[in-house]
Amino acid sequence: MAKGAKLPGSLPHLKPRRKVSKSLKRKREEEELENLEKAAQEFDASNLTKFADLPLSRQTTSGLDKSHFKVPTDIQRKAIPLALKGKDILGAAKTGSGKTLAFLIPVLEKLHRAKWTADDGLGALIISPTRELAIQIFEVLRKVGQRHSFSAGLVIGGKNLQDERERLGRMNILVCTPGRMKQHLEQNPDLDTYNLQILVLDEADRILDMGFKDSIDAIIQGIPKSRQTLLFSATQTKNVNDLARLSLKDPEYVSVHEAATAATPGKLQQHYIITPLPEKLDILWSFIRANVKSKILVFFSSTKQVRFVYETFRQMQPGIPLLHLTGKQKQTARLEISAKFSSSKNSCLFATDVVARGLDFPAVDWVIQADCPEDADTYIHRVGRTARYERDGRGVLFLCPTEEKGMLERLKTKKVPIEKINVKQNKKQSVQNQLQGICFKDPEIKYLGQKAFTSYARSVYVQKDKDIFDLEKLPLQEFATSLGLPGAPRIKFLKGEDTKQRKNAPRALLKDDDSSQDEESGDEDAKKDKKKEVRTKYDRMFERQNQNIFTSHYTGMVRHGEEEEAEEKDEDFLAVKRHGYGSDTEDEGKGPNQGQKFIEVHGKDPMLVDSKRREKLATSKKAMLKYKGKGTKLVFDEEGEAHAIYEFEDEEGFKKAGDAEEQRDRFLAEEKKKVSAADEEDKDVAKEKRRAKREKQKARALEGEDDNDDEEGFTGGLPLIPYEDFDAKRDGSDDGEEAPELVEEDRPAKKQKKWFEDDSEEERKKKKKAKRKGKVVEMQEEPETLDDLEALAAGLLA
Ligand SMILES: Nc1ncnc2c1ncn2[C@@H]1O[C@H](COP(=O)(O)OP(=O)(O)OP(=O)(O)O)[C@@H](O)[C@H]1O
């Protein structure tokens, strides 16, 4: 088909309705699909100006139109025509330039042209590094795919695996995060990827880095090599190893900023300021106070800093709503905060890098990077939360004097145009006294401050780029004072296994360990130091004030200072106490106190139970399984008596077979192999059965089509359940009724009307009746929560 030519057929609701036979309709559809395929292969993108020029299905064109997308952006103009031809794509374009649509449109078209139906299973997989981004992609998919009838789902964790499990087997398109997807692939025989047509990695460079390696390798292993693959990012990888891992076939590298002078959006103004570490919060506070009518996003390097600054600044009332978002928050809270920040006109969000990539918060005026990003790519993604899609925006990077040289070099190499500005000293307000007052009054905040301090120090310490990050050069004592703390918590970083071992070791042992270290080393100097220590007025004030449950935490951190000890206590403070099971406890040999009791588990030493939660744990067979031991292999003699294997083996034979430890490892490795092979077989059998069932259903559906006459109009697979109807079903529970269950796969699905079809007379009566009864029958609001979205995903199921 010539470029720009009109595709056969127009919008169905504009057509006069008439009866046509199913077979005739199917034939037409097939012709239409063939024409589309041909048009896509022959398409010449040089004159592409609007989406309507593209050889797209009526459903996608209409979805784009309804979502008010008319003119494609550069990356869309370049990438979509190639993707429609079936090419693998490596797409690179600046932040906020519309990469999401550049991969969603080809996804929809791929499945449409393959005549994808529910019986074909999973056809497209879209992987995102964070839950928030996955949700955002899903929302855009929902908008532009509204006229298609594919089922789509979100797999992002934070939900019961079993709940998700049943739905997933019936999805055509999944938007997922890597870890959760891997979990499903391993444990869910209903999820079959054998038929996958297209794989998308959004923020591909992030997904392909070491952090997600295991999950991505597991996912790739389970999907067919013959699929199409699309990779997108503002900082794209061309790493040959990565491309080999994904088995890309002659990928097209589509870059719309490689030739540009800057890697960041043109309307973005970028500045940096040099701020000594102890002045950072003064400058941030002064900046926020001076911009209370703006929408500001502030990045820190750790969760603890985000919380500390949020909690303290809130108490100081800057005159602008404050929000905070970190990966440690619960999913519902994260969603709520994202939604609040998105809809607000002026507010300030403190966040970690969990929101650095991909998120499309509308109209952010300022992005402040209060802590130096780990590299130039992270800088580009963070600052890209502003100046999105042709809007203006401003970014300010705070750099400590020691970070300036190294970071500027990195930014220059990545083509980031950034200019230095100075802070007007007379406008700078010191917040140290206020922070000191808050910490003094509120022990929790002071504790948080100490954690913020150590987290920041750790974040600098672990950075790879030592030309930029040098902990030793930072004025840590002054930094602690600037946070309102009476002294710098002592920091001592342990590396690798040692840290892990200590973290996992029983607390009592650790305690002994620590004290014994002191004693054994005869660290008299340390003891003398403690006596000689100069105590300030503030120290005494804090001691006096903080005589409550937190006291031990502070003293642990500040005075006696062992970081590891504090870490351990931190777990006490923040998590359920790991009172020893068995003999490793501080309570060993003592009887239970009031409100405590011992419960015996698997005939081992009793477990101390001092809370309902621990009682529940101790009485849960499943939770206690880990304490049960591995079981022993037994052999039965002729009398039916059980014997351990070694009883039948003479000593010489045993010795011949090699070292006992090696024999044991060999045996375990062999058994493990057998178990996973059996597991694989079971899964394959289950999947095979499912596929056969699907094939049958598909064949049955096709046979059925020929028997009946129907009204003309696109069917193309599953009928789309209008959103209102689905919600009406769920909301049935509002008036005490049970929400009806989703239609089971095996049952013949009721034909749903399309969203553009009018209610039948019968349906109108039903709705009227329901309204009289007070039932909610119409969904007027957009889905807001994750539950709404997930319900919607299920709602697309037939
Ligand atoms: N063709 C278009 N017409 C109008 N607006 C568009 C178009 N394409 C995308 N947008 C809008 O541009 C904004 C940015 O799009 P998107 O989130 O896809 O950018 P991105 O390139 O993925 O950014 P990032 O690199 O940060 O992930 C969104 O608000 C989106 O709705």
If you take atom 10 of ligand 1, which residue's CA is the nearest one?
Answer: 98
Interatomic CA distance for residues 751 and 680, integer angstroms: 37
Share of the chain above pLDDT 90, in %: 48
pLDDT at 629: 65
Place of tokens 């330039």: 97
Which range is most confident: 248-257, 393-402, 606-615? 393-402
Region 136-143: mean pLDDT is 96
User: Mean per-residue pLDDT for 63-69?
Assistant: 96
CB of 177 within 6 A of ligand 1: the answer is no
Helix (H), strand (E) at residue 603: none
- Nearest CA to 618 among 629, 603, 608? 608
Question: For ligand 1, is residue 236 a contact (CB within 6 Å)?
Answer: no
CA of 212 to the centre of ligand 1 (A): 25
Residues 376 and 590: their CA atoms lie apart, in Å, by: 57
Note the pLDDT tens digit of each residue in 236-276.
877 777 888 888 888 999 998 777 789 999 999 999 999 99
Ligand 1 in reach of 94 Cβ (< 6 A): no
> What pLDDT is attached to residue 754?
37
Place of tokens 């790739």: 220
H helices present in 346-426, as ranges: 376-383, 401-413
Residue whose C-alpha is closest to residue 546's, from 683, 443, 431, 658: 443
Does 330 or 776 have the greater pLDDT score?
Answer: 330
Q: Is 265 in the pocket of ligand 1 (CB under 6 A)?
A: no
Q: What is the pLDDT of residue 704?
A: 60
Residue 652 pLDDT > 50, yes or no?
A: yes
What token pair was written down for 103? 């991969």
> What is the number of the ligand 1 atom nearest to the C-alpha of 390?
12
Under 8 Å between Cβ of 152 and 63: no
CB 358 near ligand 1, within 6 Å: yes
Look at ligand 1, atom 30, and give the residue with the nearest C-alpha: 98
| Ligand 1 midpoint to CA 265 (Å) | 12
pLDDT band per the 50, 70, 90 thresholds, residue 708: very low
CA of 122 to the centre of ligand 1 (A): 26
Q: What's the 102 CA to ligand 1 centre distance in angstroms?
A: 9
Q: Compute the distance from residue 75 Cα to the ligand 1 centre, in Å.
A: 10
- Indicate the SS3 state at residue 420: strand
Ligand 1 pocket check for 72: Cβ under 6 Å: yes
Q: Among the listed ranges 147-151, 583-587, 630-634, which one has the minimum average pLDDT value?
A: 583-587
Residue 630's pLDDT is 65
**For residue range 149-168, what is the model confidence (pLDDT) as tens digits?**
999 999 998 767 777 777 78
Q: Residue range 10-23: average pLDDT?
A: 57
| pTM of the entire predicted model | 0.69
Residue whose token pair is 């970083």? 493
Helix boundaries (H) for 427-562: 432-441, 443-461, 476-482, 496-504, 507-520, 524-532, 537-545, 551-554
Would you tell me how many other CB atoms lie within 10 Å of the CB of residue 390? Answer: 11
pLDDT for the residue numbered 738: 26
Of 70, 360, 386, 390, the residue with max ligand 1 atoms within 8 A of its CB, to mutate for a pocket test, comes to: 360
Of 30 and 580, which is predicted with more confidence?
A: 30
Distance 98 CA to ligand 1 centre (A): 3
Q: Is the CB of 69 under 6 A from ligand 1?
A: yes
Q: What is the pLDDT of residue 765?
A: 53
pLDDT of residue 165: 77
pLDDT (tens digit per residue) in 173-222:
999 999 999 999 888 888 888 899 999 999 999 999 888 999 999 999 98
Q: For tokens 């969760």, name the residue.
A: 303
The 3-state DSSP class for residue 686 equals helix
pLDDT at 576 over 80: no
Strand pairing category for 607-609 and 597-599? antiparallel
Cβ–ligand 1 distance for 130 under 6 Å, the answer no
* Confidence band, pLDDT 50/70/90 cuts, at residue 35: very high
Pick the atom of ligand 1 nearest to 384's CA: 26
Nearest to 251 by CA among 243, 239, 262: 243
Phi and psi dihedrals of 368, rounded to 5? -105, 125
Q: For a pocket test of ligand 1, which of 388, 390, 391, 392 has the largest count of ligand atoms closer than 8 A to its C-beta? A: 388
Average pLDDT of span 631-649: 75
Residue 632 has pLDDT above 60, yes or no: yes
Per-residue pLDDT reduced to its tens digit, 474-495: 999 999 999 999 989 987 664 4
